[in-house]
């Protein structure tokens, strides 16, 4: 038996689930020890490699997360808010590092992670890429340098299947812009315009969500003043970017004390 950290992937059949399984299997720093799907899913009981239409990997998809987590050092979870809250409790019980990529979690959902972080390491980020995490720091710096003559708008572009808006990344960028301005995002966020909205309020941070086709994930932070605009931009062209970041977080988490962390901690930014 290898002593490489064992990883369980939840939401195994999903876009990110499949990418994560491929990334873990191809890594020489970790091994895949479990794949979880919800009860009743037609992948349950099948070899996960075969279910993905490839070679057998010797890992059977299960609908019993606690049993899978108990055999693992880390759980990588890109699913949905309700599932992630359930997995957080089980990962804490199993003392496994819980890497959370799931977006669309409310403030109340996030608060529920706190007791879990007392027992296990949690790394959560709306975007696991180096580029976006660096962009949050640039956004904060530009927002701090400019005054409210510059309107800030975060524009995000995603595929037609995405179910949450604004994206987790857009909210990270909005938080960074608000921090640069020394304000709370909740006090200035303008999330959804329709009808007679009135003119833009000075100091607001706006969000625009585009959905279409197979766009993997693109984010612009626009600073628009009279006579000039600055646009900071990140474009993801491959989902493996997020999966590699998540695996890095799972490995980094092995050496940390229980608590809640983000990708800036993992990347040392
Ligand atoms: N942080 C980051 O870097 C990134 C985050 N994401 C986020 O990851 C999440 C997943 O995205 P994506 O893979 O595109 O979505 P998909 O819909 O393709 O996959 C989600 C998977 O989670 C499964 N799932 C949902 N609920 C449960 C449950 N209770 N138990 C077990 N499995 C469950 C779904 O199963 P079923 O089909 O049966 O519902 C599905 O297999 C989203 O929140 C997305 O925003 C995505 C990319 C990068
Ligand atoms: O749902 C997606 O696909 C993505 N979700 C994340 C988000 O909400 O920001 C990250 C990435 O943009 C892809």
One domain for residues 250 and 163:
no
Ligand 2 binding pocket (C-beta < 6 A) is 103, 126-127, 158, 162, 167-169, 217
**What is the Å distance from ligand 1's center to 232 Cα?**
28
Average pLDDT, the chain: 98
Determine the pLDDT at residue 88.
98
129, 169, 221, best to mutate for ligand 2 pocket (most atoms within 8 Å of CB): 169
Determine the pLDDT at residue 169.
98
Choosing from 22, 162, 219, 248, the catalytic residue is 162
Q: Is 182 flagged in the annotation as binding?
A: no
Determine the pLDDT at residue 1.
59
One domain for residues 72 and 202:
no
Q: Which is the closest atom of ligand 1 to the Cα of 16?
A: 13
Q: Is 14 flagged in the annotation as binding?
A: yes
One domain for residues 202 and 256:
no
One domain for residues 120 and 222:
no
One domain for residues 162 and 254:
no
Ligand 1 binding pocket (C-beta < 6 A) is 10-11, 13-17, 36-38, 41, 78-80, 83, 101-104, 125-128, 168, 242
Residue 1 in domain: no
- 110-165 pLDDT, tens digit each: 999 999 999 999 999 999 999 999 999 999 999 999 999 999 999 999 999 999 99
One domain for residues 165 and 123:
no
- Pairing label, strands 217-225, 228-236: antiparallel
Q: Which domain holds residue 84?
A: 6-128+239-267
**What is the Å distance from ligand 2's center to 209 Cα?**
12
Q: Which is the closest atom of ligand 2 to the Cα of 163?
A: 1
Q: Is 103 flagged in the annotation as binding?
A: yes
Residue 154 · residue 208 · CB < 8 Å: yes
Residue 100 · residue 77 · CB < 8 Å: yes
Q: Please report which ligand is nearest the Cα atom of 43.
A: 1
Q: Is the pTM of this model over 0.95?
A: yes
- Regions of the chain where pLDDT drops below 70: 1
Determine the pLDDT at residue 192.
85
Q: Which is the closest atom of ligand 2 to the Cα of 171?
A: 9
Determine the pLDDT at residue 101.
98
Domain CATH for 152: 3.30.360.10
One domain for residues 94 and 164:
no
One domain for residues 113 and 167:
no
One domain for residues 170 and 158:
yes
Determine the pLDDT at residue 2.
79
Lookup result for tokens 């403030």:
107
Domain CATH for 112: 3.40.50.720
Based on the residue annotation, tell me whether 161 is a catalytic residue of this protein.
Answer: no
Q: Quick one: which of 137, 142, 161, 135 has its CA closest to 236?
A: 135
Name the strand (E) or helix (H) holding 260.
strand 259-261
Is this complex scored with an ipTM above 0.90? yes
Buried/exposed 180-209: b ≥16 CB within 10 Å, e otherwise: bbeeebeebbbbeeeeeeeeeeeebbbbbb
- How many angstroms separate the CA atoms of 120 and 257, rounded? 8
């Amino acid at each position: 038996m290898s002593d490489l950290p064992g990883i369980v992937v939840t939401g195994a059949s999903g876009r990110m689930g499949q990418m994560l399984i491929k990334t873990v299997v191809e890594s020489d720093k970790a091994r895949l020890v479990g794949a979880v799907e919800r009860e009743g899913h037609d992948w349950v009981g099948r070899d996960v490699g075969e279910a993905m239409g490839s070679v057998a990997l010797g890992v059977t998809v299960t609908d019993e997360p606690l049993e899978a987590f108990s055999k693992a050092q880390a759980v990588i979870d890109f699913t949905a808010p309700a599932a992630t809250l359930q997995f957080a409790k089980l990962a804490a019980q199993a003392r496994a590092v819980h890497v959370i990529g799931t977006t669309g979690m409310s403030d109340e959902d996030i608060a529920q992670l706190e007791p879990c972080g007392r027992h296990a390491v949690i790394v959560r980020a709306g975007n696991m890429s180096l580029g976006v995490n660096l962009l949050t720091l640039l956004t904060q710096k530009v927002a701090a340098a400019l005054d409210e003559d510059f309107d800030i708008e975060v524009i995000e572009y995603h595929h037609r299947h995405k179910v949450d808006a604004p994206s987790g990344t857009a909210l990270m960028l909005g938080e960074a812009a608000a921090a640069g301005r020394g304000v709370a995002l909740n006090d200035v966020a303008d999330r959804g315009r329709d009808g007679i909205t009135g003119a833009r309020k000075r100091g607001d941070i706006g969000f625009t969500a585009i959905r279409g086709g197979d766009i993997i994930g693109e984010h612009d932070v626009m600073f628009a003043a009279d006579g000039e605009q600055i646009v900071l931009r990140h474009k993801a062209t491959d989902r493996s970017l997020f999966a590699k970041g998540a695996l890095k977080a799972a490995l980094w988490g092995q050496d940390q004390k229980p608590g809640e962390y983000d990708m800036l901690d993992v990347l040392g930014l």
